[in-house]
Chain A
Amino acid sequence: MLLFLMRRLMQGLIVMFVISIISFSIQDNLGDPLRELVGQSVSEAERQKLRDEIGLNDPFLVQYSRFLGNALQGDLGQSYFFKEPALDVIFAKMPATLELVFAATLIIILVSIPAGVYCAIRPDSWGTKLILGFSILGISVPVFLTAIFSIYLFSIELGWLPSYGRGETTSVFGLWESGLFTRDGLLHLILPAISLASIMLPLFIRLIRSEMTEVLHTEYVKFAKAKGLKKVRIYFLHALKNTMLPVITVGGVQIGTMVAYTILTETVFQWPGMGFLFLEAVNRVDTPLIVAYLIVVGGVFVVVNTLVDLLYGLVNPTVRLARTAQ
């Protein structure tokens, strides 16, 4: 177990290192940060001086090693726009994004498992055809369209739900701005969470359906029937547990991907999260913030995948963690 975590940590560091190189090396192509930093009235000579001061004229390796040295001490640079440490800016926006992803994940779990299981148990029913038809639709419609359409329907026409922002938030231990504890915050969460979930939902329904269909043909399910067990127990204990193994693995990767997808959702709903922040940073050529964002998202990926592997080991007794580390 300890060995497994240590290995994971090593792998994570390597991944982070690679991400830092990639994200750092693209910053030159993003545009001139000086344009946003200073006004139009500043002369070219002064601009050059400023460039020298921030170190933009140094060779790439010098810049990178300076960045890496600072990064190892927990400093990913100063945001040009906010004039604050980039990490602090990101961490201030992180709760909004994580809550959005959490809510979307919850929706996916609560909808895809029953729907997938239903499709596997009743492959020829009308319900199954309906679910699969909708999932095709879900895959083919882009997320911003779903979002805009749902705003039109639920906010403008029906007026049931707010269309933008996080609403009222409360502070948890002074560290985390949460929208989960107020009615207003929850109402604001519904539409963004549904449209974020809509990208992954069809994939999971189809994955669970096909895995479950396969599991239902295994010998141990046949044996469970021969033992005289009730159907509910066969489906929801014997079959579902085995179905979830590959779903967990895929799920880990997809949750990471969802953090990245929030850029679209947050933009449409003006959700004050990391994705929205990132888009603004790109527009402002706020390179330290862009680099910091990419590294933080990479870190989230690594953490989520490690947690998923731990979870997998808990569900599957044949995998001992020390062995999977091979």
Chain B
Amino acid sequence: MSLLEVEGLRIEFPSRHGTAVAVKGVSFTVEKGEILGLVGESGAGKSTVGNAVIDLLSAPGVIAGGNIKLDNQTISGLHGEAMRKIRGRRIGFIFQDPMTSLNPLLTIETQMVETIMVNLDLDKAAAFEKAIELLESVGIPEPAIRIKQYPHQFSGGMRQRVVIAIALSGDPELIIADEPTTALDVSIQNQILELIRELCKKRQVGCLFVTHDMGVIANVTDRVAVMYMGDLVELGTTEQILCRPEHPYTQSLISAVPRTDVKLHRFPSVEYIEKAEGHQIDVKNHWLGEQEVFGNPSGDVLLKVKDVDLRFETQSAFFKKNRRYVQASNKVSFDVRPGETFGLVGESGSGKSTIARVIAGLYPPDAGSIEFAGQDITRLTEKERKPFRRQIQMVFQNPYSSMNARMTVRDIIAEPIRFHDLAESERQVNQIVSDLLDHVGLGRASGVKYPHEFSGGQRQRISIARALATRPRFLICDEPTSALDVSVQAQILNLLKDLQEELGLTMLFISHDLPVILQMCDRIGVMKMGSLVETGDTDRIFSDPQHEYTQHLISMMPRVENLSHEGLEIEAQVAHV
């Protein structure tokens, strides 16, 4: 008898336009002390399964079939008071974003003590003691002081520890963790994963671990269930799924995960994802391929960043000594050579995006200089900067907020061409936009649509088309794929690689994701707290990191393929398909 048995679970979302089936007859079990990974891409229905177990489906979702048993007692179909007694007491829940799952207006003490009081029937004093004990066990230093504080006084990792402590506070038999580390930095992610694993093993608690991240799956789970479009397509041990996947979807999913051992020329193309539309054009003989002579073309350095300093005021005051600053960039210097991809890697808050914005001329630096094609562009008037703006374009992280929702895709892409007066006639503008849409794989017909009609990956294609519309030489990509699913990420990265080859683009590629950096970049700079701690060729940095922090980062990198060597062969085979 298993701890959790899910049998033929079917979840529907009825609406006026018909019924959407989110989960189509899924069955699996979780044993005591076991961590079962539930993996899939966005829209696969994996979170829906987790929510259904404790009756927290968002409206109008309903369990339309099958049943869920906890310790041989049927809990599907329980609502209200009966389900409340199971939540917290028998099933603990950990949410994705620790920044939003704690109430910002209540102290940690209030939020923990209320949970313990209701679930363990303790009085306030005993609950407080238990809360301190729990905080200690999840590794929060000085719990007696910290418990009096509010969530905003904790860092992201610390908050997730608090959330875990709360999830454990009712001594549950089962924990459902819904993407618990997706919002965290890689080194903190590792600590949290270790904590969850240790707690599950020590307390013999079963865990349903929902994630989209194969690296996390490899690190923490015992068995894995793979979901695709509401179906459970494969279930097996972690080792079998990662190294000998049987279902073609699992195979293509795993092949899309960026490798951490060898650099491949392109990502293996994957099936089971949205198809690219339109046909590729011959860019070299196209308007887009015409490069104008700009600046000093013979130099072997296209972009020179020299001793850039930038600090932001975090607390303003009338007297200088009372002001507080954060040093976002501290004497950062590096060169980018023509045609190469230079990677900036670091954890959140390390100043990567700040540097990108300084280069793009969005922030003026406090000190230091930026040279582009031999010309100092640090302090230019808006008019002097205009030709450089054309040469340097950006692709932003979030494809949902970086486009005007009230403009058609055609206008979004045409805007920079019109602004810089690049085309001779409106007819030529239209022609260029159509060709661009075809080339980035959207198809010219999609120009009349609005951004919200596209998926995240398609929107990022629009962003890329927009960035290319001014015929830039230098492309800044700020976390271009961190909001995307892994298979879509592979497509977008391939597209960037192809475009770079065809157009001779130089790229500054910013990411917190080491495997992606390894696959994309020729040289890398590692940033920490506003300083560039190490620069070097990608191979050298990964094989022989010199700085302590780089070594730490690389050791934290989740690895999929070091489970077994057989895995590599499968991946290689898939790569050839």
Q: Provide the bound-state CA to CA distance between A322 and B316, in Å.
A: 9
Residues 169-180 of B, flagged 1 when their CB comes within 8 A of A and 0 if not, give 110000000000
19 contacts between A and B (CB under 8 A): A218-B100, A219-B95, A219-B100, A220-B102, A222-B101, A223-B102, A225-B87, A226-B56, A226-B92, A227-B119, A228-B86, A228-B118, A230-B118, A233-B114, A241-B105, A317-B105, A317-B150, A317-B152, A318-B152
Given A218-B100, A223-B102, A326-B316, 17 other A-B contacts at CB below 8 A?
Answer: A223-B95, A223-B166, A225-B56, A226-B92, A226-B95, A227-B88, A227-B118, A227-B169, A228-B85, A228-B89, A229-B114, A238-B106, A241-B105, A241-B106, A242-B104, A242-B105, A315-B105
Residues 289-326 of B, flagged 1 when their CB comes within 8 A of A and 0 if not, give 00000000000000000000000000110000000000
Say how far A122's CB is from chain B's closest CB, in angstroms: 13
Across chains A and B, the number of contacting residue pairs, with CB separation under 8 Å, is 82
Decide: A229 and B115 in contact? CB cutoff 8 A: yes
Say how far A216's CB is from chain B's closest CB, in angstroms: 11
Q: Provide the bound-state CA to CA distance between A181 and B168, in Å.
A: 54
Cβ-based interface call for B103 (8 A) = yes
> Which B residues lie within 8 Å of A161 (CB)?
none
> Which B residues lie within 8 Å of A228 (CB)?
84-89, 115, 118-119, 170
> Which A residues lie within 8 Å of B100 (CB)?
218-220
Decide: A224 and B95 in contact? CB cutoff 8 A: no
With A227-B166, A228-B84, A228-B118 as known contacts, state yes or no: A222 contacts B104, CB within 8 Å: no
Q: Which of A219, A223, A224, A226 has the most CB of B within 10 A?
A: A226
Residues 307-326 of A, flagged 1 when their CB comes within 8 A of B and 0 if not, give 00000000111100011001
Q: Provide the bound-state CA to CA distance between A242 and B170, in Å.
A: 26
Cβ-based interface call for B163 (8 A) = yes
Decide: A237 and B106 in contact? CB cutoff 8 A: yes
- Which of B102, B118, B163, B315 has a CB less than 8 Å from the CB of A229? B118
Residues 117-150 of A, flagged 1 when their CB comes within 8 A of B and 0 if not, give 0000000000000000000000000000000000
Say how far A243's CB is from chain B's closest CB, in angstroms: 10
> Which A residues lie within 8 Å of B56 (CB)?
222, 225-226
Q: Which of B314-354 contact A (CB under 8 A)?
A: 315-316
Cβ-based interface call for B208 (8 A) = no
Cβ-based interface call for B249 (8 A) = no
Cβ-based interface call for B97 (8 A) = yes
Q: Which of B92-112 contact A (CB under 8 A)?
A: 92-93, 95, 97, 100-106
**Nearest 4 Cβ contacts at the A-B interface:** A228-B88, A226-B93, A219-B100, A228-B87
Describe B's contact surface by its main secondary structure. loop
> Which B residues lie within 8 Å of A238 (CB)?
103, 106
Cβ-based interface call for B54 (8 A) = yes
Decide: A226 and B87 in contact? CB cutoff 8 A: yes
Decide: B101 and A223 in contact? CB cutoff 8 A: yes
Q: Provide the bound-state CA to CA distance between A206 and B88, in Å.
A: 33
Number of chain A interface residues as a range: 20 to 34
Report the nearest A residue to B105, measured CB to CB: A241
Q: Which of A205-246 contact B (CB under 8 A)?
A: 218-220, 222-231, 233, 237-238, 241-242, 245
Residue ranges of A at the interface with B (Cβ–Cβ < 8 Å)? 218-220, 222-231, 233, 237-238, 241-242, 245, 315-318, 322-323, 326
Q: Which of B398-449 contact A (CB under 8 A)?
A: none
Say how far B287's CB is from chain A's closest CB, in angstroms: 48
Q: Provide the bound-state CA to CA distance between A316 and B119, in Å.
A: 28
Decide: B106 and A227 in contact? CB cutoff 8 A: no
Say how far B183's CB is from chain A's closest CB, in angstroms: 11
Say how far B159's CB is from chain A's closest CB, in angstroms: 11
Say how far A75's CB is from chain B's closest CB, in angstroms: 34
Decide: B103 and A222 in contact? CB cutoff 8 A: no
Q: Which of B490-506 contact A (CB under 8 A)?
A: none
Q: Provide the bound-state CA to CA distance between A223 and B103, in Å.
A: 9
With A223-B93, A223-B163, A326-B316 as known contacts, state yes or no: A316 contacts B84, CB within 8 Å: no
Q: Provide the bound-state CA to CA distance between A219 and B115, in Å.
A: 16
Say how far A96's CB is from chain B's closest CB, in angstroms: 37
Report the nearest A residue to B80, measured CB to CB: A231
Q: Which of B40-86 contact A (CB under 8 A)?
A: 54, 56, 84-86
> Which B residues lie within 8 Å of A229 (CB)?
84, 88, 114-115, 118
Say how far B54's CB is from chain A's closest CB, in angstroms: 6
Report the nearest B residue to A225, measured CB to CB: B56
Q: Which of B436-479 contact A (CB under 8 A)?
A: none
Q: Provide the bound-state CA to CA distance between A48 and B170, in Å.
A: 88
With A229-B115, A241-B106, A318-B150 as known contacts, state yes or no: A222 contacts B85, CB within 8 Å: no
Residues 16-54 of B, flagged 1 when their CB comes within 8 A of A and 0 if not, give 000000000000000000000000000000000000001
Q: Provide the bound-state CA to CA distance between A227 and B86, in Å.
A: 9
> Which A residues lie within 8 Å of B166 (CB)?
223, 227
- Which of A223, A316, A323 has a CB less than 8 Å from the CB of B105? A316
Q: Provide the bound-state CA to CA distance between A306 and B301, in Å.
A: 57
> Which B residues lie within 8 Å of A315 (CB)?
105
With A226-B87, A227-B115, A228-B85 as known contacts, state yes or no: A323 contacts B95, CB within 8 Å: no
> Which B residues lie within 8 Å of A224 (CB)?
103
Q: Provide the bound-state CA to CA distance between A228 and B84, in Å.
A: 5
> Which B residues lie within 8 Å of A230 (CB)?
84, 118
Decide: A220 and B103 in contact? CB cutoff 8 A: yes
Q: Provide the bound-state CA to CA distance between A227 and B167, in Å.
A: 7
Q: Provide the bound-state CA to CA distance between A219 and B97, in Å.
A: 8
Q: Provide the bound-state CA to CA distance between A316 and B92, in Å.
A: 28
Say how far B320's CB is from chain A's closest CB, in angstroms: 15
> Which A residues lie within 8 Å of B152 (CB)?
317-318
Q: Provide the bound-state CA to CA distance between A193 and B183, in Å.
A: 51
Say how far A226's CB is from chain B's closest CB, in angstroms: 4
Q: Provide the bound-state CA to CA distance between A189 and B93, in Å.
A: 52
> Which B residues lie within 8 Å of A223 (CB)?
93, 95, 101-102, 163, 166
Q: Provide the bound-state CA to CA distance between A228 and B101, in Å.
A: 14
Report the nearest B residue to A228, measured CB to CB: B88
Q: Provide the bound-state CA to CA distance between A228 and B85, in Å.
A: 6
Q: Provide the bound-state CA to CA distance between A70 and B101, in Å.
A: 57
Q: Provide the bound-state CA to CA distance between A231 and B100, in Å.
A: 20
Decide: B101 and A220 in contact? CB cutoff 8 A: yes
Say how far A209's CB is from chain B's closest CB, in angstroms: 17
> Which B residues lie within 8 Å of A318 (CB)?
104, 150, 152
Q: Provide the bound-state CA to CA distance between A151 and B465, in Å.
A: 69
Say how far A215's CB is from chain B's closest CB, in angstroms: 10
Report the nearest A residue to B107, measured CB to CB: A317
> Which A residues lie within 8 Å of B85 (CB)?
228
Q: Provide the bound-state CA to CA distance between A235 and B153, in Å.
A: 25
Q: Provide the bound-state CA to CA distance between A242 and B151, in Å.
A: 14
Say how far A235's CB is from chain B's closest CB, in angstroms: 13
Q: Provide the bound-state CA to CA distance between A238 and B118, in Å.
A: 15
> Which B residues lie within 8 Å of A233 (CB)?
114, 118
> Which B residues lie within 8 Å of A231 (CB)?
84
Q: Provide the bound-state CA to CA distance between A323 and B97, in Å.
A: 26
Q: Provide the bound-state CA to CA distance between A318 and B114, in Å.
A: 21
Q: Which of B129-150 contact A (CB under 8 A)?
A: 150
> Which B residues lie within 8 Å of A219 (CB)?
95, 97, 100-101
Residues 241-281 of B, flagged 1 when their CB comes within 8 A of A and 0 if not, give 00000000000000000000000000000000000000000
